[in-house]
Amino acid sequence: MSGRTASLATLAGIVLLLPLALQNNYYYEVAIQVGLNAIVCVGLNLLIGYAGQISLGHAGFFGLGAYGSAILTARYGWPPLAALASATAGVAVLAYLIGRPILRLRGHYLAMATLGMGIIISIVIATEDRLTGGPDGMPVPALAAFGAALSGERVWYWVVGATLLAAVWLALNLVDSPHGRALRALHGSEVGAEVTGIDSARHKVKVFVISAVYAALAGSLTAHYAGFVTPAKVTFFHSIELVTMVVFGGMASTFGAVVGAAVLTVLPQALTVFKEYEMVVFGAVMMLTMIFMPRGLVPTLALTLSGRRLPR
Amino acid sequence: MKFRSMLAALAVLVLGAAQAQEPIRIGSFLAVTGGAAFLGDPEQKTLELYVERLNAAGGVLGRKLQLIVYDSAGDAEKARTFAKRLIEQDKVDVIVGGSTTGETMAMVPLVEAAGVPFISLAGAVVIVEPVKKWVFKTPHSDRQACERIFVDMKARGATKVALISGAGGFDKSMRAQCLQVAKNHGIEIVADEAYGTGDTDMTAQLTKIKNTPGVQAVLNVGFGQSPAIVTKNHKQLGISQPLYQSHGVASKAFIKLAGDAAEGVRLPAAALLVAETLPDSDPQKKVVLGYKREYEARFKSEISTFGGHAWDGLMLAVEAIRKAGSTDKAKVRDALESIRGFVGIDGVFNMSATDHVGLDISGLRMLEIRKGDWTLVK
């Protein structure tokens, strides 16, 4: 599909040209965080936006990825790439085992189950201080591959940029595959989807695992990039932050997820000029956007630009 | 981002026009909001108040001070981003900040790589041990608090101690330190109980301690509300062995929460809490009393020892810049390391290449709560 290629090319163009506007390492730092958050959001959007299943526990998967990498490299001396792969694979298995029973739940019940899961992960990480360093966190060795250690914001920018592009490309392909169409059918009506022969449980679990893998991968990368992990990123509030990014950018829009992550990561940095009114302004921006653009930033803008009226 | 850089450019222009000489930039990130706000709030107020005062008095080296504070909300990830911003964007000359250990440790690799003098306001001993070239800190470490408590216990003839601690970062770090230094002071830890954050009753743990044979004193390592509950339970169970709390509860709020049960509880704390009752011969009296009066007059709120950490951090930085005669980062760092006999709020600082806190345990006073107020134990 040419539309897909064109939008992916646009994103690639932005990633390639952005460094021209990045004056120093602080700007790179913010750009890298945008990228890492965007990777989680692209995955989460597959679950929330396309399949219509809510998850309030994705910070838990993010944290397991981060701490998995941290513990395997720092405590057991594993090579970072192997740790990253095993942590991500471990999270995939866990998501599958958890997903089977809890994805039978719907609506509020599913939200509560994922919420509970996230909180359990967060408590375990904060209390197992011998492994995780407890509430004060633990240092993580740098990501090294083939004898060279990755360090410096500029190098990391390209690593994160490339990973984001791959993540978006995979997500776009998935959405346009039979699996993606099945997910959208599920979103529309689970009963209707099952009547047309869609195995709803299988599809839901599959997308749940995929989105957990996205979060775990971003978690692992974050841990190695930052060189330090604390349980702050595993809390319930971070889960809410991630869901907010997806909804803000626009559900069922992969680019919406990227834009949502970008805006909500950059905004707090830009709003520091308001000093103590920072949170007030931040709240006002969120409220106004949701009042005037209830479908999220990207879908609303796309519709306005193409001159069409909102369907339904 | 373009908008921000334009803003920054504008700010530089305005500042450049207002004064010919570049200000000395002091960067800070504090947990002003969030769960650790009781740390960050007095710290920020203190920094603002004293930067203002120093500027009114003509600044440092003839240059004005410029304070740049970001709110990290106690989140290590945010603190790291702000630290990068301070170093790369704001190009600060020195960083004074980091309310919590997590925030501080997350940015240690950054300041070490960038070579910026950094004075942390957090407690755990891991910050300065092993010694890091660019990292200093002002509060006593948790290890020293343990030592001060053990010294007092020994003086009272108690050598068998029951430990009870919470699940927070402060609690865990201090518990580990206490267990580690107990032997050096001839103290035997005969019970080691733990409770969770947010628990509302510690009777079970304290009953176990009560039934442990030979206990001569009880030490609670905790933060926030839990120590007040432990204190109440300690009295309800009629445990006769004296109760010690950590320096983490050194605020009037603790006495209010614990009520009558607080009577007789001992804890190590900075001289700030008993400023008025210090003997006139005490070298710290003038500094401590001055800070207390100025802070309370300005903000109409009670002083906290955490603000004192920020006072020490700022004044040590200023002292180092004066000593170095410039804001050259390497020189300021060397000057910081060579500060001796500097009278601060937390004690008298004697920095050295192997000690980046520079305090001994004499700066920690042993207080006893009597009739709802702090009393200095002689």
- The CATH number that applies at residue A251 is 1.10.3470
| Domain that residue A9 falls in | 2-305
CB contact under 8 A, B84 and A26: yes
Tell whether B229 and B91 lie within a shared domain. no
Local structure of residue A46 (DSSP, 8 states): I
Q: Does residue A259 lie in a domain region?
A: yes
Local structure of residue A152 (DSSP, 8 states): S
User: Does any CB of chain A come closer than 8 Å to the CB of residue B190?
Assistant: no
Q: Does residue A312 lie in a domain region?
A: no
CB contact under 8 A, B85 and A269: yes
User: Does any CB of chain A come closer than 8 Å to the CB of residue B8?
Assistant: no
CB B83 within 8 A of CB B95: yes
Closest Cα in chain B to A130: B172
| Each residue's pLDDT tens digit, B9-50 | 555 555 544 445 789 999 999 998 877 888 899 999 999 999
Among A6, A30, A11, smallest CA distance to A168 is for A11
Which of 29-48 (B) contact A at CB < 8 A?
33
Local structure of residue B188 (DSSP, 8 states): E
Q: Does residue A90 lie in a domain region?
A: yes
CB A66 within 8 A of CB A220: yes
Closest Cα in chain B to A238: B75
Closest Cα in chain A to B174: A136
Q: Which region holds residue B128: left if phi is over 0, alpha if psi is between -120 and 50, else beta?
A: alpha
| Each residue's pLDDT tens digit, B95-128 | 999 998 888 998 898 899 899 999 999 988 889 9
| Each residue's pLDDT tens digit, B308-350 | 999 999 999 999 999 999 999 999 999 999 999 999 999 999 9
Q: Does residue B337 lie in a domain region?
A: yes
Q: How far away is chain B from the Cα of A134, in angstroms, using its nearest Cα?
A: 7
Q: Does residue B3 lie in a domain region?
A: no
Does A206 score more than 70 pLDDT?
Answer: yes
Distances (CA, A) of A44 to A91, A219, A260, A302, B94: 15, 13, 12, 21, 40
The domain that holds B226 is classified in CATH as 3.40.50.2300
Other CB atoms within 10 Å distance of the CB of residue A43: 29
pLDDT at B17: 47
B204 Cβ partners below 8 Å, 6+ apart? none
CB A42 within 8 A of CB A171: yes
pLDDT at A210: 96
Mean pLDDT along residues A42-61: 94
Question: What residues of B are in contact with residue A137 (Cβ under 8 Å)?
Answer: 76, 102, 105-106
Q: Does residue A172 lie in a domain region?
A: yes
Q: Does residue B281 lie in a domain region?
A: no
B342-343 and B348-349 beta bridge pairing: antiparallel
Tell whether B32 and B109 lie within a shared domain. yes
- Alpha helix ranges (H) inside A18-106: 25-45, 58-74, 80-102
CA distance B92 to B24: 8
Tell whether B180 and B91 lie within a shared domain. no
Distances (CA, A) of B289 to A278, B187, B269: 35, 35, 15
> Higher model confidence: residue B12 or residue B243?
B243
CB B183 within 8 A of CB B230: no
Of A21, A25, A228, the CB nearest to B76: A228
Q: Does residue A202 lie in a domain region?
A: yes
Mean pLDDT along residues B65-79: 90
User: Does any CB of chain B come closer than 8 Å to the CB of residue A177?
Assistant: no
| Domain that residue B83 falls in | 22-140+288-361
Question: What residues of A are in contact with residue B169 (Cβ under 8 Å)?
Answer: 134-136
Of B33, B109, B167, the CB nearest to A227: B109
Q: How many domains does chain B contain in total?
A: 2
Q: What are the φ and ψ backbone dihedral angles of B251, each rounded to 5 degrees?
A: -150, 155
CA distance B107 to B84: 8
| Each residue's pLDDT tens digit, B125-184 | 889 988 999 999 999 999 999 999 999 999 999 999 999 998 888 888 899 999 999 999
Q: Does residue B192 lie in a domain region?
A: yes
Question: What residues of B are in contact with residue A279 (Cβ under 8 Å)?
Answer: 33
Does A18 score more than 60 pLDDT?
Answer: yes
Tell whether B63 and B195 lie within a shared domain. no
Closest Cα in chain B to A142: B109
Mean pLDDT along residues B227-236: 94
Q: Does residue B9 lie in a domain region?
A: no
User: Does any CB of chain A come closer than 8 Å to the CB of residue B1?
Assistant: yes
Q: How many domains does chain A contain in total?
A: 1
- Going by pLDDT thresholds of 50, 70 and 90, the confidence category of residue A274 is confident
Q: What are the φ and ψ backbone dihedral angles of A293, each rounded to 5 degrees?
A: -130, 70
Does B1 score more than 70 pLDDT?
Answer: no
Question: What residues of A are in contact with residue B3 (Cβ under 8 Å)?
Answer: 270
pLDDT at A312: 45
Tell whether B230 and B372 lie within a shared domain. yes
Of A25, A230, A266, the CB nearest to B76: A230
DSSP lists the bridge partners of residue B367 as B267, B376
Query: Best mutation site among A130, A136, A264, A282 for testing chain B: the one with the most B CBs within 10 Å?
Result: A136
Question: What residues of B are in contact with residue A22 (Cβ under 8 Å)?
Answer: 1
Mean pLDDT along residues A277-286: 85
Tell whether B270 and B308 lie within a shared domain. no
Tell whether B369 and B220 lie within a shared domain. yes
Tell whether B246 and B371 lie within a shared domain. yes
Instruction: Give percent above pLDDT 70 in chain B.
Output: 95
Q: How far away is chain A from the Cα of B94, in angstroms, using its nearest Cα?
A: 17
Does A52 score more than 80 pLDDT?
Answer: yes
| Each residue's pLDDT tens digit, A217-267 | 999 999 999 888 988 889 898 999 999 999 999 988 999 999 999 999 999
| Each residue's pLDDT tens digit, A133-171 | 888 888 898 888 777 778 788 899 999 999 999 999 999
Does A118 score more than 70 pLDDT?
Answer: yes
CB B181 within 8 A of CB B143: yes
Closest Cα in chain B to A30: B81
pLDDT at A161: 96
Which of 30-49 (A) contact B at CB < 8 A?
30, 33
The least confident of A108-112, A142-146, B82-86, B209-213 is A142-146
pLDDT at B2: 53
Q: Does residue A275 lie in a domain region?
A: yes
Q: What is the ipTM of this complex?
A: 0.82
Tell whether B126 and B260 lie within a shared domain. no
pLDDT at B18: 47
Q: Does residue B1 lie in a domain region?
A: no
Q: What is the mean pLDDT of chain B?
A: 90
